[in-house]
Amino acid sequence: MIKKYDYLIIGQGIAGSSFAWTSYFNKKSFIILDSQEKNSASNAALGIYNPITGRRNSLTWNVEKLFNSLEEFYLNVEKTIKKNILFKKKIYRPFKDNRDYNDWNLRLENDKFKKYLSKIDSSGILTCKSGYLDVSKYLSETRKYFKSIDRYKNYKLSNNQVIIKNNRVIIKEFDAKNVIMCLGINQLNINYLNKIPLRAVSGNSIIAETNFNSNHIINKKISVINTSRKNIHAGSTYHNGFENNGVDKLLNKLDEIIKKEYKVKKINFGIRSASVDRKPLVGKHPTIDNLYIINGLGSKGVSQSPYCSKELFNYIELNKNLDKEINIERFIT
Ligand SMILES: Cc1cc2nc3c(=O)[nH]c(=O)nc-3n(C[C@H](O)[C@H](O)[C@H](O)COP(=O)(O)OP(=O)(O)OC[C@H]3O[C@@H](n4cnc5c(N)ncnc54)[C@H](O)[C@@H]3O)c2cc1C
């Protein structure tokens, strides 16, 4: 007999994992399907969550809503899987020049910024309410946990498995009230979804062995995290398109920051999917009643996915309005 689920979640990157945990904590039935694509963005992510971002060091979009609940979300996952995945760390940002130093001093006097700034000295600033998620462990432990309770299946979705009947989507072999597509950039390959605009932004990160040590994440053009006493995770690069071409650039920047020997252990490559206005893409398909997406998380999947999952879940289950800024309706005419 075919099992019936509340949710069929396709894609188990950061987005699909967050929606699965949201369903789990709300006691809904679901099954996750994933094909473990090797160039998915989540496979390369450093996992940093950081309230002050971008070239202009601005407060990130929706900072209050996103940062009020994100640590709690991952701590609840930690309690369930009984593993540490979230590490709270301050970010140290060396000043680039006098102007940069003055700009940070101005931010220190600004009430909106104050709670995210920790300390300033003559060489740099420490910002707080930040840290990193060990994304690789988060994904593998999520997979392991949901596999153990029969809620995960290795499966590659292709167009011939997608059937549309009476304005509803049916994925062959699965019976679910709702289908949530969390396919990252691969959404472009699926009919019915390929009209939603997505931009590919590829990037690299590396894992290296070194005796460089810092309690804080260092941010100077790239970010460097000491993930253990001997290991660092460093990144990232940004390239508009699908090419894997950022490693040399990354290594040059790493040399400037750590000024020590290191041995590269792993080079990661992933393709981010971003929206035109750089905000997430969440919501219901314009004509198919039970088909939804979470996508467009760009370079901020860790901080944005718990919020996007909660918004979509409340929209489906409680009929609540979806945050207009993330609703895919803005791109559908
Ligand atoms: C180098 C780099 C560094 C980054 N650093 C950070 C960071 O520090 N902090 C941060 O917040 N974000 C970071 N990001 C961004 C982050 O990785 C993304 O925002 C996030 O991973 C997007 O998650 P996703 O689940 O939407 O997409 P993806 O990670 O692309 O996941 C899509 C999933 O769908 C599955 N899938 C695809 N096609 C199919 C199919 N046909 N059938 C079944 N399954 C399928 C894939 O296997 C995959 O698991 C970084 C990205 C890169 C590339």
Q: Give the pLDDT confidence of 107-148 residue by residue, as tens digits.
A: 999 999 999 999 888 899 999 999 999 999 999 999 999 999
When pLDDT is averaged across residues 170-197 and rounded to a whole number, the result is: 94
Distance 77 CA to ligand 1 centre (A): 19
Count of CA atoms in the C-beta half-sphere (13 A) of 18: 31
Distance 259 CA to ligand 1 centre (A): 31
**Sheet strands side by side (includes 131-133):** 48-49, 131-133, 86-88
Q: Measure the CA angle with vertex 22, ends 20 and 28; round to 5°.
A: 75
Q: In this predicted structure, what is the pLDDT of residue 237? A: 97
Per-residue pLDDT tens for 276-293? 999 999 999 999 999 999
**Sheet strands side by side (includes 30-34):** 152-154, 30-34, 4-10, 175-181, 291-295, 281-284
Backbone angles phi, psi at 73, to 5 degrees: -60, -50
181 ligand 1 Cβ < 6 A: no
Distance 318 CA to ligand 1 centre (A): 28
Distance 220 CA to ligand 1 centre (A): 24
Contact 234, 256 (CB under 8 A): no
271 CA closest ligand 1 atom index: 53
Distance 212 CA to ligand 1 centre (A): 28
Q: Is the predicted pLDDT of residue 42 greater than 80, yes or no?
A: yes
pTM, 2 dp: 0.97
Q: What would the two tokens of residue 47 be?
A: 């996992």
309 ligand 1 Cβ < 6 A: no
Q: What would the two tokens of residue 236 be?
A: 């990232």
Contact 31, 176 (CB under 8 A): yes
Q: Which domains does the chain have, with CATH numbers?
A: 4-49+135-197+277-332 (3.50.50.60), 52-132 (no CATH), 199-275 (3.30.70)
When pLDDT is averaged across residues 69-77 and rounded to a whole number, the result is: 96
Q: Is the predicted pLDDT of residue 333 greater than 70, yes or no?
A: no
Q: How far apart are alpha carbons 46 and 123 in whole angstroms?
A: 25
Q: In this predicted structure, what is the pLDDT of residue 182? A: 98
Protein residue closest via CA to atom 19 of ligand 1: 301
- C-alpha dihedral over 118, 119, 125, 128, to 10 degrees? -10
When pLDDT is averaged across residues 15-19 and rounded to a whole number, the result is: 98
Beta-strand runs (E) in 210-322: 217-220, 222-226, 231-235, 239-240, 263-274, 281-284, 291-295
**Separation in Å, CA 279 to CA 111, 209, 235, 297:** 25, 35, 22, 7
270 ligand 1 Cβ < 6 A: yes
Q: Is 39 exposed, middle or buried (0-12, 13-18, 19+ CB in 10 A)?
A: middle
246 CA closest ligand 1 atom index: 1
Q: Measure the CA angle with vertex 279, ends 298 and 224; round to 5°.
A: 35
- H-helix segments, the chain: 14-25, 63-81, 98-108, 111-114, 135-148, 247-258, 301-318
182 ligand 1 Cβ < 6 A: yes
14 CA closest ligand 1 atom index: 25
User: Which residue, chain included where needed, has tokens 């609540």?
Assistant: 320
Q: In this predicted structure, what is the pLDDT of residue 1? A: 67
When pLDDT is averaged across residues 254-277 and rounded to a whole number, the result is: 96
Q: What would the two tokens of residue 238 be?
A: 């940004």
